[in-house]
Structure 1
Amino acid sequence: MPFHVDSEVGRLAQVIVHRPGIELLRLTPANVESLLFDDVMWAEKAQEEHEQFQQILRDLGVTVHLYQDLLATALAADGARDELKAELITETQFGTELDGPLRALLDERAPAQLAELLIGGVLKREAAPYLRGVSSLVLDSLGDDDFLLAPLPNHLFQRDNSAWIYAGVNLNPMARPARRRETINSRLIYNFHPMFAGEQFAFYNGNDPMQHTPATIEGGDILVIGNRTVMIGMGERTAPQGIEVLAERLFAAGAIDAVIVVELPRERAFMHLDTAMTQIDRDAFSVYPYLPDTLRSYTLTPRGSDGHFTVHENADLFAVVAQVLGIERLRVLKAPIDRLEAARAQWDDGNNFLTVSPGVVIGYERNVTTNKYLGDNGIQVIGLSGSELGRGRGGPRCMSCPIERES
């Protein structure tokens, strides 16, 4: 089976990324907060930086799949649009009078155009040819430049809406309403794109139209550290209920032997586990130097074959990780910087590295001190310009969804 992710640091063979498109042009000072961004981004510059990111990956021998292209191909498959309409065009989403016109819009657009709309959003005026003669309170309440379908600028961060864990994928129930439609798009890709439709792999959770909240989980919190173990952050976006659901599914499938749970500070700067730490070599993690000393962690282990598990609180997180990885000592690399510089580096995704092979990582070039420190410790850091991409509060790991990686 070609699709599997067996570690965080083995050779990366295939990855999904999303080149930002019109959705970034639709960020405004009025909607930027509700769409989970901190600022309006310079879209063209972000696209240039993302193309550099893609080229770095290709130069390192990684096959790069563009998300919007995958979605367009999936939408051309038999049954895909029926699935989309059943899940997207509901009376709770658009009221009772818009289902017919919006179904016609989804039917008539070419696959590439429809993929762009599903990510970039639909303004009322853009749907006007389908809305003539429609009597709708929802419609009358909107201005011409209001969204019938909101844009999804966070598709830039492909790590979050789906996560490959060993020989299967989790379609993640997202925490924020602004991101929940991302999972619908990914479900179309994994079920209808010919690259995936002909393969046999497990769907651990989320391959359904159910409302999963409050059992939310996002891929930035999921680290596949190897040796049949997963590390999951519990914090702002990933709830304990979401971790328990995924753990039970993984244990019942016989996919893993343990889940290590790390309780994160509930702050935006620590949105996901991979903003606090990432594995960068077989024996090394890059870690935010001022993580609280009181950071709690737990290990979940199965008690039988039905998925039920036992929870044990750990005395020392990194000692447990070293034991799982089968090494004598884990190198916990914390850049020697003061709290002010650490806070700036944390905001600039200073620990959010995408490991391409053991000891070879991609990170934002602006984090000079951290990158030099890692270099002094034998880690090759390939610098990526991130003046605009970084303003979305996500680094190279956030922007990538590995679908094939060796152990």
Structure 2
Amino acid sequence: MQPSVTSEIGRLRQVIIHRPGREMLRLTPSNMEHLLFDDMLWLEHAQAEHDDFANSLRTQGTEVLYFQDLLAEAMDIPAARQHVLTSVFTEESHGVAIAEAMRAYGESLTGAQLAELMVAGLTKEEFAELKLGPISSVIYDAMGPTSFIVAPLPNHLFTRDTSCWVYDGVAINSMRKEARRRETINYEAIYNYLPRFQDPSIKKWCNGNEAGPATVEGGDVLVIGNGSVLVGMSERTTPAGVERMARRLFGNSEVKQVIALDMAKERAQMHLDTVMTQADYGVFTKYAGMGMVESMTLTSDGEGGIKVAAHDPQDMHKVIAHALGLDDIKVLTPPMDALAAEREQWNDGSNVLAGAPGVVYAYERNITTNDFLTENGITVITVPGDELGRGRGGPRCMSCPVVREAV
């Protein structure tokens, strides 16, 4: 199948997800805030919930690609392996001795073993057990036994963010938070070296860490269709990142306009898809606490640059409707008191994944939201998320669509 995502709602044919693994066992009360988790997952239960999610996708005709398998396959390619080892184990980050030892150790591993190391991480204690020889290093001597020589990447669970497909290209995203920045290197290996992604027609809207602080994360990117993309300027996506991506899209894609929403910069609304997602053509779910925010329409100036038109907050819905070629959009905000709404939003009530027009996947625990969507003609496929939801991400966060049918 040729990668292509021209909307949020076209029938989902292929998706990348990541089954939580040993990296989740690295979470502790003392490090989970740094690793961007609010709680620790019960791994076996989280895996069972994730398996249910994957099976629901397959039942609806979606091919499931596992991130861990893709990374392992990439690590069997010498150039991809070299890219990862030299990018991760640098003198600047690890010092001379550890960097050299880890690059040599990485070369000795199978692709699957190296992929596991790059996701699950490695402590000093585990490093010592490898018996790679004496290490003369200030950094090494200063580390405690449970300090990480290779930090774990538990947020790989949320495959939506580090890469996202927009029309006939992919954005390999530079990440805002330190705990997620190394994820990008893994995706660079997958997209830049795996044969399945080397078709010359596949474009790169963002090509990894070269973007530096001009971050865009996939949870903020909604491909709403009609040549339009909706992007949240949130806690994680910067205005510079939006401008940079927009200019690349305008130069070589079907995208004619990018609508940027100036969101609150807070963890509870870390990405646009935590408060607003698309369920059908012209139909969106929305958390009441998001309110109406200022929007900006970015278009090409015809000379390689961009034009920006700012809109008042009260015009937010009209701006989105205009981008879709509609008079108005239908916004589904479940009627509930502010406390109940905040609870369901915290549990990713608005973070639904469209499997087809008018068909969405949602966490089963968000009963009020799911019932309201059903009453408004949306088919809701529920999946368990008692453990998965502890990472503050729902079905959309946990999925990276690669192929959708055109609407």
**TM-score, normalised via structure 2 length:** 0.96
1:141 and 2:138 are equivalent in the alignment: no
User: 1:268-305: CA deviations, max 9, x gaps?
Assistant: 11010001100000120011123234x11110111014
Relative to total residues, which structure has the larger helix share, 1 or 2? 2
Mapping 1:108-187, distance limit 5 Å: 108-128=108-128, 129=130, 131-187=132-188
Letter in 2 for 1:332: V
How many Å apart are 1:44 and its aligned residue? 0.9
Asked whether the 8 Å contact 1:105–1:127 carries over to 2, the reply is no
**Structure 1 unaligned blocks of 5 or more:** none
- Give the whole-Å Cα distance in 1 for the aligned partners of 2:319 and 2:337: 28
| 1:296 aligns with one of 294, 300, 305 | 294
- Give the whole-Å Cα distance in 2 for the aligned partners of 1:267 and 1:275: 11
Asked whether the 8 Å contact 2:168–2:253 carries over to 1, the reply is no
Mapping 1:326-405, distance limit 5 Å: 326-405=325-404
Q: Percent identity?
A: 49
User: 1:238-290: CA deviations, max 9, x gaps?
Assistant: 11111111111111224410000011112211010001100000120011123
- Give the whole-Å Cα distance in 1 for the aligned partners of 2:199 and 2:320: 36
Q: Secondary structure at the match of 1:64?
A: strand
How many Å apart are 1:17 and its aligned residue? 0.1
Asked whether the 8 Å contact 1:233–1:272 carries over to 2, the reply is yes
- Give the whole-Å Cα distance in 1 for the aligned partners of 2:11 and 2:306: 31
- Give the whole-Å Cα distance in 1 for the aligned partners of 2:90 and 2:192: 21
- Give the whole-Å Cα distance in 2 for the aligned partners of 1:239 and 1:100: 35
2:226 aligned partner: 227
How many Å apart are 1:123 and its aligned residue? 1.3
Over 3 Å counting, the alpha-carbon distance change for 1:305 and 1:406 in structure 2 is farther
Greater shift, 111-120 or 249-258, is seen at 249-258
1:309 and 2:336 are equivalent in the alignment: no
Asked whether the 8 Å contact 2:174–2:210 carries over to 1, the reply is no
Q: Secondary structure at the match of 1:159?
A: helix
> Number of matched residues?
403
- Give the whole-Å Cα distance in 2 for the aligned partners of 1:210 and 1:325: 32
Q: Secondary structure at the match of 1:5?
A: coil
Over 3 Å counting, the alpha-carbon distance change for 1:249 and 1:199 in structure 2 is closer
Greater shift, 318-327 or 64-73, is seen at 318-327
- Give the whole-Å Cα distance in 2 for the aligned partners of 1:85 and 1:394: 29
- Give the whole-Å Cα distance in 1 for the aligned partners of 2:395 and 2:302: 38
Q: Secondary structure at the match of 2:343?
A: helix
Asked whether the 8 Å contact 2:74–2:81 carries over to 1, the reply is no
How many Å apart are 1:233 and its aligned residue? 0.2
1:217 aligned partner: 216
Asked whether the 8 Å contact 1:236–1:267 carries over to 2, the reply is yes
Asked whether the 8 Å contact 1:101–1:130 carries over to 2, the reply is no
How many Å apart are 1:196 and its aligned residue? 1.4
Asked whether the 8 Å contact 1:298–1:311 carries over to 2, the reply is yes
Letter in 1 for 2:299: T
Asked whether the 8 Å contact 1:160–1:218 carries over to 2, the reply is yes
**Structure 2 unaligned blocks of 5 or more:** none
- Give the whole-Å Cα distance in 2 for the aligned partners of 1:78 and 1:91: 21
- Give the whole-Å Cα distance in 2 for the aligned partners of 1:178 and 1:63: 29
**TM-score, normalised via structure 1 length:** 0.96
User: 1:192-246: CA deviations, max 9, x gaps?
Assistant: 2222134531111224x53611x11110000000111110000210111111111
Asked whether the 8 Å contact 1:104–1:130 carries over to 2, the reply is no
How many Å apart are 1:96 and its aligned residue? 1.9
Greater shift, 149-158 or 133-142, is seen at 133-142
How many Å apart are 1:78 and its aligned residue? 3.1
- Give the whole-Å Cα distance in 2 for the aligned partners of 1:197 and 1:393: 33
- Give the whole-Å Cα distance in 2 for the aligned partners of 1:280 and 1:9: 7
How many Å apart are 1:85 and its aligned residue? 2.0
Which 4+ residue blocks in structure 1 deviate beyond 4 angstroms?
none
How many Å apart are 1:63 and its aligned residue? 0.3
How many Å apart are 1:87 and its aligned residue? 1.1
Letter in 1 for 2:301: R
- Give the whole-Å Cα distance in 2 for the aligned partners of 1:224 and 1:336: 27
Q: Secondary structure at the match of 1:351?
A: coil
How many Å apart are 1:156 and its aligned residue? 0.3
Q: Secondary structure at the match of 2:396?
A: coil
Asked whether the 8 Å contact 1:9–1:355 carries over to 2, the reply is yes
Mapping 1:34-113, distance limit 5 Å: 34-113=34-113
- Give the whole-Å Cα distance in 1 for the aligned partners of 2:253 and 2:375: 40
How many Å apart are 1:164 and its aligned residue? 0.5
- Give the whole-Å Cα distance in 1 for the aligned partners of 2:366 and 2:235: 24
2:236 aligned partner: 237
Asked whether the 8 Å contact 1:8–1:226 carries over to 2, the reply is yes
- Give the whole-Å Cα distance in 2 for the aligned partners of 1:109 and 1:94: 20
Q: Secondary structure at the match of 2:171?
A: strand
Letter in 2 for 1:361: V
Q: Secondary structure at the match of 2:264?
A: coil
1:272 aligned partner: 271
Letter in 2 for 1:31: N
Asked whether the 8 Å contact 1:252–1:305 carries over to 2, the reply is no
Q: Secondary structure at the match of 2:298?
A: strand
